Amino acid sequence: MAPKIKRLSFCFVLILAVIGLVFLFGAGIMNKKGSGKIVATNFAAFDFARAVIGDSSDITILLKPGMEMHDFEPTPEDIKKVLSADLFIYVGGESDVWVEKLLNDNEIKKENNFRMMEFVSPLAEEFVKDTKEDEHAPEEKDEHIWTSPVNAVKLVEAVRDRLIGLYPEKEQIFTKNAKIYTEQLKEIDNEFRDIANNSTNKLLVFADRFPFLYFTHEYGLSYFAAFPGCAEQTEASSNVIASLVGEVKGNNIKTILKIELTSDKLAKSIADETGAKILELNAAHNISQENFDRGVTYADIMRKNISVLREALKNE
């Protein structure tokens, strides 16, 4: 009898172990679907999904930390991930024309697709007056929709609804997580709005690219920038430099702005000529590997921007 009992208890232990393993590996959000994942193109898309889900273990970000968003080209491996995703979250502007191609070829199914620009009101890209060659370009929608915290709230809520549709068993947790995050974003929005409303200066001067159209629009601010949108950065022409210096001096601007992950060469030359100081307003295109590993969020980046905005609008 002894060996049989032994074999039975061995079987029992084995079954327990299998149940344990299934439980462990099934703990992710896709335990019902098995093969799927959430794939996000850029940092904002990743951040909003992470906030709703509560962790990032089921989310893949295509844009590697530290990389320039507008230089992104998908690898065949990236395309494979996109095509096998439960949900593919992307912005849907100029940087994502490769996605439109996959959609047109019916390679991505509509139901697996989340185009962020559909959930906010897109604004037409604006150009600086000096870039004559752009005057005849067809109107494009500016893709930096996430730079407005008001849009960020809408996007988090839309991602939440979509994820609940995919994983209804997670409704409570997704609803709770989204509420916590959108409350943070609304506080940030209130801070920006207070600063803008209480400042007599409404002008921001960017010695850099300009990804903040949605941000300045939201808070009733005006801007002057060296380069339109995030167009391919070229050397600033002497006209552009002269205009920037003129704007800074003429409006008594004490702080000029640059954005994240770009050179500060132009900002430094404008600062040298005007005595203005340079601060960085972070558009959250992407974050460094170090900050990514630390779990820095879009909300963290925007909180840092609060003091920058306060400083940049002071002109006395």
**Which residues here bind Zn ion, judged by CB under 5 A?**
211, 230
Q: Rounded to 10 degrees, what is the CA torsion of 38, 186, 149, 58?
A: -10
Residue written as token pair 């959430």: 38
CB of 44 to Zn ion, least distance (A): 11
CA nearest 135: which of 147, 123, 122, 125? 125
As beta bridge partners, residue 113 has 88
CB of 283 to Zn ion, least distance (A): 6
User: Which residue stretches of 224-277 are H helix?
Assistant: 238-250, 265-274
CB of 135 to Zn ion, least distance (A): 21
Name every residue whose Cβ is closer than 8 Å to that of residue 230 and which is 6 or more positions away in sequence.
69, 70, 144, 209, 210, 211, 285
The number of C-alpha atoms within 13 Å of 125 and in the hemisphere containing its C-beta is 23
Q: Do 174 and 156 form a contact (C-beta atoms < 8 A)?
A: no
Nearer Cβ to Zn ion, position 72 or 292? 72
Nearer Cβ to Zn ion, position 46 or 167? 46
What span, in angstroms and rounded, lies between the C-alpha atoms of 81 and 60?
A: 8
CB of 93 to Zn ion, least distance (A): 9
Nearer Cβ to Zn ion, position 211 or 228? 211
CB of 209 to Zn ion, least distance (A): 6
Residue written as token pair 């208890």: 9
Nearer Cβ to Zn ion, position 115 or 193? 115
As beta bridge partners, residue 87 has 38
Nearer Cβ to Zn ion, position 233 or 291? 233
CB of 41 to Zn ion, least distance (A): 13
CB of 210 to Zn ion, least distance (A): 9
Q: Do 270 and 245 form a contact (C-beta atoms < 8 A)?
A: yes
Nearer Cβ to Zn ion, position 184 or 262? 262
Nearer Cβ to Zn ion, position 59 or 213? 213
